[in-house]
A and B are shown apart, each in its own frame.
Chain A
Amino acid sequence: MDVVTLLHLVVSNTLTYATPLIFTALAGTFSERSGVVNIGLEGIMVMGAFSSAVFNILMYPTLGTSTPWIGMLFGGLVGILFAVIHALATINFRADHIISGTVLNLAAPGLAVFLTRMIFNKGETGPIARTFGTGNIPLLHKIPFIGPILFSSILLPAYVGIALALISWFVLFKTRFGLRLRSVGEHPKAAESVGINVYFYKYSGVLISGFLGGMGGAVVAQAIQGNFGSATIAGQGFMAMAAMIFGKWNPVGAMWAALFFGFSQSLSAMSSVIPALQAIPPVFLQILPYILTIIILVGFIGKSESPHALGETYIKSE
């Protein structure tokens, strides 16, 4: 295998694992920056995966090749609906964030599998009609050497995720909306004292989180798993939260963390291709992602500090 093919394989395998994590880690960032802990990302992903898989199967005859993209948006919308529960519970009813999030995580798989049974009369949807597949990024794939490695026959939602990470960074750190959203997560009393509508920004954070998390689930169902069943989402939501913390609640940092997880995870799948890896017992490759994470967390990242008022219930002053 030549170098270009090998590097392309490394990149595409990394993105296979990282793409859903990028979307969902961004989801977590928005929610937590507004001060609401969103441990329910896993449940939101389940709903996104379920709804997009159903959408894909039912709508493919009318929508054709664009089905997975519209399905991804649909998964995002269902994610928003599901996140409304979390927003209501934590913001209006002052429920504990962890408990509300856990409720989402417990309710989603049961609800989704129940609905799947109602629709398809079995516990999983069966193969979806059209997966994302791979494609070339226009123009960029023509760059010599880099193009064939990074931008051709690649999972396209991955680049949507990376673009979203950059946009999210801009929104959070360079716009008025972002500044206010962050201020609500740091010190809601101070924010309110200068006339910022705290509830509005908290709702924005949680609902954007629902949208991105739902899309993350939709990517799993439509790009990797190819169906929806009870095992489709198994821990990705929690991995995404880890990526968010690893990335210091910064969208671009979270993206890099997700890519790093994807890269270290993909190494153990490539021992048949990279001869040097064959000398290493597979067990070591399988624990490698966790060891690398610990080393980097301890050695290089430094203190990862959460938003100051994270998880606190804010009660509007009269």
Chain B
Amino acid sequence: MKNWKSLMLLGTSALVLVACGNKDANKDAGKDNTGEGDFKITMITDTGGVDDRSFNQSSWEGVQEWVKENNLPQSSGTYIQSDAADQYIPNIQQAVNDGYDIIYAIGFLLAEPLEEVAKQHPDQHFGIVDGFVDLPNVISLGFKDHESSFLAGVAAAYTTETNHVGFIGGEKGFIIDRFETGYKAGVEWAAKKLGKEIKIDSEYAESFKDAAKGKQIAASQFSSGADVVFHASGAVGDGVFNEAKDRMQADSSKKIWVIGVDRDQEAEGEYEGGNLTLTSALKQVGQAIKLTSNDVMKGEFKGGQVVYGLKDDGVGLSRGHLSDEAWKAVEEAKKLIVDGEIEVPEFTYSQN
């Protein structure tokens, strides 16, 4: 019995030692590289991880660029990856303990965990991307995805030859609703301008991962005559791009296009004989992080909500393979939105 107890004691103390050792090592390393008083930021990913080819990756690219632009050592910008939803709170907590000047939580999934931690640390600055937390020490970075989707709709309408376009969403909800609503409004606006009728197919995969489902939905839409498909569905889009590639490789006389989302998805559209990524609806998450970090560095951090739209280049559309005519129409629509002449609707089904 005694032996057991001492063994256990030894075990736990070893654990504690290891834990302390790690922390101290981290702190020392931080000090060595950054020096006293240097500025550092970190971000916490959602389960997509930093290589998700979506907003986690854009955020991380923004952090890295920001570090470079301010001539800071690399350790001034770090990330913590969440492998499961139950790691959100511990990860945020860990970042607080490590002492960063601002901590970004990436994605609306982290909004609730962040709120919980942020309440307990009113002096710590936080940022949340794509979500909203109503606390004075949190800045919520929102994006007008419906505005970029509107432009994607205009591009689709000007490109389609069959007068039939498609939309493929991930999980149904208010985030993707913005994309669908904006896209439809854009197609309708351009169709009116062109004096024709354009049919829009809209379908949800109810997943952000199931590429097979994306391939099936894309097959249905292409088979029924759509020749431009806009996807806002994360990795489901991999299947959409693949279906389009299969079709172009089999018969390149019927040109079909896919519109990418969040990042420039030019690379995904490459196939033998060309590229089928028409354009991508961009979301400059990295830009938002850079601007906010600069404010914090100047000591001008303000809590509340900032929404980036076309006006401040927070969202946009890539030039891609758009024809000159289509690009001109996109530019025109963009100007009208920025000037406030077109008001893009934001929600169809999720909010009234």
Contact = CB atoms under 8 A, between A and B. Distances in A.
B268 interface: yes
B64 interface: no
Interface residues of A, number: 41
Contact of B51 (A124, A226, A270, A271): A124
A226 B211 contact: yes
Interface string A255-284: 000000000011001111100000000100
A16 B220 CA distance: 12
A250 interface: no
B242 A131 contact: yes
Contacts of B249: 131, 133-134
Given A123-B51, A131-B245, A272-B220, 18 more contacts: A1-B224, A124-B53, A131-B246, A131-B249, A135-B250, A223-B242, A224-B239, A225-B238, A226-B238, A226-B239, A227-B238, A229-B51, A231-B235, A269-B220, A272-B217, A272-B224, A273-B224, A286-B206
B184 interface: no
Interface of A: 1, 5-6, 8-9, 12-13, 16-17, 122-124, 126-127, 130-135, 153, 220, 223-227, 229-232, 234, 265-266, 269-273, 282, 286
5 smallest CB-CB distances across A and B, nearest first, come from A123-B51, A269-B216, A226-B242, A13-B216, A272-B201
Contacts, number: 103
Nearest to A116: B51
Contact of B216 (A8, A223, A266): A266
B250 A133 contact: yes
B203 A272 contact: yes
B167 to A, nearest CB: 10
Interface in B19-61: 49-51, 53
B80 to A, nearest CB: 15
B47 to A, nearest CB: 9
A133 B220 contact: no
Given A13-B219, A16-B215, A269-B217, A224 B242 contact: yes
Nearest to B242: A226
B49 A126 contact: no
A133 B212 CA distance: 14
Interface of B: 49-51, 53, 166, 201-206, 209-213, 215-217, 219-221, 223-225, 235, 238-239, 241-242, 245-247, 249-251, 267-268, 270, 272
Contacts of A130: 272
A271 B203 contact: yes
Contacts of B223: 1, 5-6, 8-9, 273
14 contacts: A1-B225, A5-B223, A13-B220, A17-B212, A131-B242, A131-B246, A133-B246, A224-B215, A225-B211, A226-B239, A265-B216, A269-B219, A272-B202, A272-B203
A85 B164 CA distance: 52
Contact of B268 (A127, A224, A269, A271): A127
Contact of B50 (A5, A8, A123, A135): A123
A271 B268 CA distance: 27
A153 B239 contact: no
Most buried by A among B246, B250, B270: B246
Nearest to A117: B51
A111 to B, nearest CB: 15
B242 A9 contact: no
B112 to A, nearest CB: 23
B201 to A, nearest CB: 5
A28 B233 CA distance: 32
A153 B212 contact: no
A8 B220 CA distance: 10
A153 B51 contact: no
Given A127-B267, A223-B242, A224-B215, A134 B220 contact: no
Nearest to A232: B211
Contact of A224 (B205, B211, B272): B211
Contacts of B238: 225-227
